[in-house]
């Protein structure tokens, strides 16, 4: 699952920094914007079966690759 999340993030950001530094804030660093966020949620649902309603998306809880992985794990349980 973690590998899939990293692959999705690398594709969306066009950067391998998300894998090299999993605590990088993808929003503060300008690696992701609102469109990329929607794409992330679509990819997570399509590839991992994790449904995250946009209305329940809290940017602070999804701001780094590590936090995204934690959120996905929690939603899979």
Spans of all domains in the chain: 2-76
Residue 54 pLDDT: 76
What CATH superfamily classification does 2-76 receive? ACP-like (1.10.1200.10)
18-55: pLDDT as tens digits: 999 999 999 999 999 999 999 999 999 999 999 987 77
Residue 52 pLDDT: 87
Query: What is the pLDDT confidence band of residue 77, given thresholds at 50, 70 and 90?
Result: confident
Per-position b or e across 22-57, b if 16+ CB within 10 A of its CB = bebbbbeeebbeeebbeebbebbeeeeebebeeeee
Question: What does pTM read for this prediction?
Answer: 0.92
């Amino acid at each position: 699952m973690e590998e899939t999340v990293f692959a999705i993030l690398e594709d969306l950001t066009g950067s391998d920094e998300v894998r090299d530094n999993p605590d990088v804030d993808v929003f503060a660093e300008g690696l992701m914007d609102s469109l990329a966020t929607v794409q992330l949620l679509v990819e997570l649902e399509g590839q991992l079966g994790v449904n995250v309603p946009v209305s329940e998306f809290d940017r602070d809880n999804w701001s780094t690759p590590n936090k995204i992985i934690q959120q996905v794990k929690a939603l899979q349980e």
